[in-house]
Amino acid sequence: MVRITVWNESEHKGKAYPDGMSRAIKEGLDLNDGFEVVCAYLDEDQQGLPDALLNETDVLIWWGHSKHEKVRDDLVEKIIKRVNEGMGIIFLHSAHFSKAFRKLMGTHCSLRWREKEGEAERIWTVDPYHPIARGVEQGFRLDGDEMYGEHFDIPTPDALVFIGWFSGGNVFRSGCTFTRGQGRIFYFQPGHETFPIFYDENIRQIMENACLWAAKKDEGTTDFEANPKCIHERVPLEEICPKTKKKFFGI
């Protein structure tokens, strides 16, 4: 049994998540009978992570946005200690600016961002052999997301599993793995609270895979086999800008 704690600074109920974002994440993970999932929140006793819960957690999923500085430093130190001891941890979206992630990375973890009303994103698998990529559709599309763009100020990842491309032109290292001590870390970019991303089947597959990987329950690679030929893709996935066609091809 993999014991998973989904931590969030609030429930984030709204149009995208009528029952709350954390509950949507939990709902997806509950489909795996081998997971035991609980939700925890910043406004709960001991900021949602009393020692009894933290010490029994195999994988901690962390989502934060505007209340990073409200997380107590002593709790951050406990989390980092647990990671070094072997607890897996998954940082989602704006958790890149959480105290724990920045301390584990040792960098500013800054990036470019753009929200507006959202824009389309495609998630491309660049390491199809990695266990986190198992069963994930190549280049799947999210119709709305907050843009995160390079440069992302993080150390070189142990593995770069996914790259995100946004319709506004930006790209981002959307799925990165790291190791600290005995613990495994996965940073995953999609997940802004105003877009119903955690209901997407590919996102749910990635979350399940990431929990198994972070808990060291899935050590094997995927069954992906590379095509020995270069694949000619005649039809683009997105519309090619007419101005670009005219400029370069005279049509």
pLDDT higher than 60, residue 245: no
**Cα dist. 225→76, 87, 158, 229, 231 in Å?**
41, 31, 22, 12, 14
Spatial distance between the Cα atoms of 108 and 111, rounded to a whole number of angstroms: 9
Convert the pLDDT of each residue in 83-128 to its tens digit.
999 999 999 999 999 999 999 999 999 999 998 778 999 999 999 9
pLDDT higher than 90, residue 233: no
As a whole number, mean pLDDT of residues 28-46 equals 97
Convert the pLDDT of each residue in 146-182 to its tens digit.
999 999 999 999 999 999 999 999 999 999 999 999 9
Between 249 and 150, residue with greater pLDDT: 150
What is the model's pLDDT at position 242? 67
As a whole number, mean pLDDT of residues 177-192 equals 97
Between 233 and 201, residue with greater pLDDT: 201
What is the model's pLDDT at position 34? 96
What is the model's pLDDT at position 223? 82
pLDDT higher than 90, residue 248: no
- Average pLDDT value for the chain: 93
Answer yes or no: is 23 within a domain: yes
What is the model's pLDDT at position 100? 98
Spatial distance between the Cα atoms of 205 and 216, rounded to a whole number of angstroms: 17
CATH code for the domain in which residue 26 is found: 3.40.50.880
Is residue 190 left, alpha or beta, with left meaning phi > 0 and alpha meaning psi from -120 to 50?
beta
What is the model's pLDDT at position 244? 53
What is the model's pLDDT at position 234? 85
Answer yes or no: is 178 within a domain: yes
Query: Which tokens is 143 given?
Result: 């119709």
CB 9 within 8 Å of CB 66: yes
At 247, the pLDDT band (50, 70, 90 cuts) reads low
Spatial distance between the Cα atoms of 40 and 10, rounded to a whole number of angstroms: 9
Answer yes or no: is 139 within a domain: no
Query: Which tokens is 68 given?
Result: 């990073």
User: Among all chains, which residue has been given the structure tokens 């790291």?
Assistant: 178
Answer yes or no: is 158 within a domain: no
Question: 44 is in which domain, residue-wise?
Answer: 2-107+173-249
Answer yes or no: is 84 within a domain: yes
- Please state the domain count of the chain: 1
Answer yes or no: is 154 within a domain: no
Answer yes or no: is 244 within a domain: yes
Answer yes or no: is 14 within a domain: yes
